[in-house]
């Protein structure tokens, strides 16, 4: 599937675009219908409004059913997770809190990367993704490496790439490290909504990529919403 189409899909499902589009369309049709006297709102307008507000409600809840509904379209565009022997495990950082503690997404990715290392699928773990403003804790206390060490990954087996601040630079800076060590293949750890994009970047840079979605295990282990 073309990379540009994937980026469009990501923008739709993981931004306010979908909600704003629904509201704009419903407003437009409301104006048209309002010009006609003695005519009730069309059912389609009511449906659009209902969908828009339902989106808002679900967006601000932690309903596991909503997560599954949202994630379903991604299954069509997200690369299939594959555990495979590789030269390195690359885990994409998802940011830290003000204290320097890892975000929830970073924590999930760190756990997944550590499990791959403990399964001896690669000899080293590369953490990619610099910490941008306003929080810049030193690389030595960055959340993901701390979790990796806590799960049994030796400090000497963790390489920190902290120059990049976006997905494309993740690939550029990490490939420099891979080339330095003569590494050609990676197990790439991220989340569904990010995995297809970051995998495409590494593939275009000539790296053999075995993607792994960090949130698949988390979803299976989640507590039912009710």
Task: Read off the pLDDT of residues 143-186 as tens digits, 9 standing for 90 and up.
Answer: 788 899 999 999 999 999 888 878 898 999 999 999 999 999 99
Q: Which fold has domain 88-220?
A: Rossmann fold (3.40.50)
Between these two residues, 206 and 26, which has the higher pLDDT value? 206
State the average pLDDT for the chain: 75
Residues 1-50: tens digit of each pLDDT: 444 455 455 555 545 555 566 666 666 666 665 555 444 555 666 666 66
Q: Describe the chain by its helix, strand, coil percentages, rounded to 5.
A: 55, 10, 35
Confidence of residue 226 (pLDDT cuts 50, 70, 90): very low
Residues 67-108: tens digit of each pLDDT: 556 666 666 677 888 899 999 999 998 877 767 677 888 899
Confidence of residue 206 (pLDDT cuts 50, 70, 90): very high
Domain ranges for the chain: 3-60, 88-220
Structure tokens at 184: 């050609």
């Amino acid at each position: 599937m073309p990379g540009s189409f994937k980026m469009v899909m990501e923008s739709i499902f993981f931004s306010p675009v979908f909600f704003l589009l629904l509201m704009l369309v419903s407003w437009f049709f409301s104006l048209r219908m309002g010009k006609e006297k003695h005519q009730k709102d069309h059912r389609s307008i009511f449906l659009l409004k209902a969908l828009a507000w339902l989106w808002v409600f679900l967006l601000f809840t932690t309903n596991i059913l909503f997560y599954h509904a949202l994630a379903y379209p991604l299954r069509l565009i997200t690369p299939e997770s594959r555990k495979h022997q590789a030269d390195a495990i690359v885990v994409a950082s998802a940011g830290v809190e003000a204290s320097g503690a890892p975000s929830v997404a970073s924590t999930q990715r760190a756990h997944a990367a550590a499990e791959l290392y403990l399964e001896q699928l690669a000899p080293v773990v590369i953490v990619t993704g610099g910490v941008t403003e306003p929080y810049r804790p030193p690389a030595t206390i960055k959340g993901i490496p701390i979790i990796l060490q806590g799960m049994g990954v030796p400090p000497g087996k963790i390489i920190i790439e902290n120059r990049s601040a976006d997905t494309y630079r993740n690939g550029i800076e990490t490939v420099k490290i891979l080339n330095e060590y003569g590494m050609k293949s990676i197990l790439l750890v991220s989340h569904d909504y990010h995995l297809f994009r970051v995998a495409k970047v590494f593939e275009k840079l000539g790296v053999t990529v075995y993607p792994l979605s960090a949130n698949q295990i988390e979803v299976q282990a989640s507590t039912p919403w009710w």
